[in-house]
Amino acid sequence: MKNKIFIIMIAIFFINNIKVNSQTNTTDYSKKPDEFVYKGIAFYQLPYSYNSLEKYIDKETVMIHYDRHHKAYFTKYIDAMEGKPELQGKMEDVLKKISQYSEGIRNNLGGYYNHIMYWNIMLPGDFTSPKDKLAKAIEKKFGTLENMKKQLSDAALSRFGSGWAWLSVNDNGELFISSTANQDNPLMDVVKERGVPILALDVWEHAYYLKYQNKRKDYVDNFWKLLNWNEVDKLYEIALKNIKQN
């Protein structure tokens, strides 16, 4: 009798596990994520569905990257803001003087800001090359668009461990390529090359490992196939405008 009860209990355990697993695998990847508000502040809303970047970035990676990693940077930064009015202004203003704050604020605000740019410049669309002012600036600095892409790809591939590769605008309005560790970015007053970023390439392993494993180069090569140059053009115009105002 005891053996029968034990077998029944084991069977119920496995059935419940199957139910739980089936429930956790019912994500509708064809929809945008639900709005998330934490302590009265809205989290950045992904502007497309989880599966919009297929076939180059898989839907599971987008979901984990956005819902877990990006969201964690956001909530930790919101926690850090409490009781600190100096952190409650524009993110860019805080980043420019990040050396005044803790390592936690540096990492979490950097992570939140960096990922917003990363998601935005991969908006699905047929915008395969820069236009007008940005196209001329790239040609002036790098000779060709392909040269620029190669240099930025090299910066991404040579970044040891986790970090980012960037295309940015310096105080003279000139483009430059750089790479930063962890969640640092060119706005911060702790990096060697400072400027206003207009293109962000995430090379943390969580950005690509599910699909590409250790083949970072394949991920970087395919990133260019997703890049929405229309968004980068807009960021370039904003950067130039801000530089003139300062």
Q: Where are the beta strands (DSSP E) in the chain?
A: 37-38, 41-42, 163-169, 175-181, 196-202
Q: What is the pLDDT of residue 25?
A: 57
Query: Parallel, antiparallel, or unpaired: how do β-strands 163-169 and 196-202 relate?
Result: antiparallel
* Six token digits for residue 105: 């604020």
Beta carbons within 10 angstroms of residue 90's beta carbon: 8
Residue 196 pairs in a beta bridge with 169
The predicted structure's pLDDT at residue 88: 87
Q: Which residues touch 2 (CB under 8 Å, ≥6 apart)?
A: none
pLDDT of residue 16: 46
- How far are the Cα atoms of 36, 67, 82, 109, 174 from residue 40, in angstroms, in the given order? 10, 18, 12, 17, 39
Angle at 31 between CA 30 and CA 34, to 5 degrees: 150
Per-residue pLDDT at 232: 96
Q: Write down the pLDDT at residue 243.
A: 83
Using only C-alpha atoms, the chain has a radius of gyration, in whole angstroms, of 21
**Residue 26's pLDDT is what?**
76
Quick one: pLDDT at residue 14? Answer: 36
Q: What is the sign of the dihedral through the CA atoms of 153, 198, 123 and 210?
A: positive
What is the model's pTM? Answer: 0.88
pLDDT at residue 141, rounded to an integer: 98
The tens-digit pLDDT sequence of the chain (246 residues) is 444 443 443 333 333 443 334 334 578 999 999 999 999 999 999 999 999 999 899 999 999 999 999 999 999 999 999 999 999 889 999 999 999 999 999 999 999 999 999 999 997 776 778 998 999 999 999 999 999 999 999 999 999 999 999 999 999 999 999 999 999 999 999 999 999 999 999 999 999 999 999 999 999 999 999 999 999 999 999 999 988 776
Closest of 157, 224, 166, 222 to residue 198, by C-alpha: 166
CATH architecture under which domain 55-246 falls = 3-Layer(bab) Sandwich (3.55)
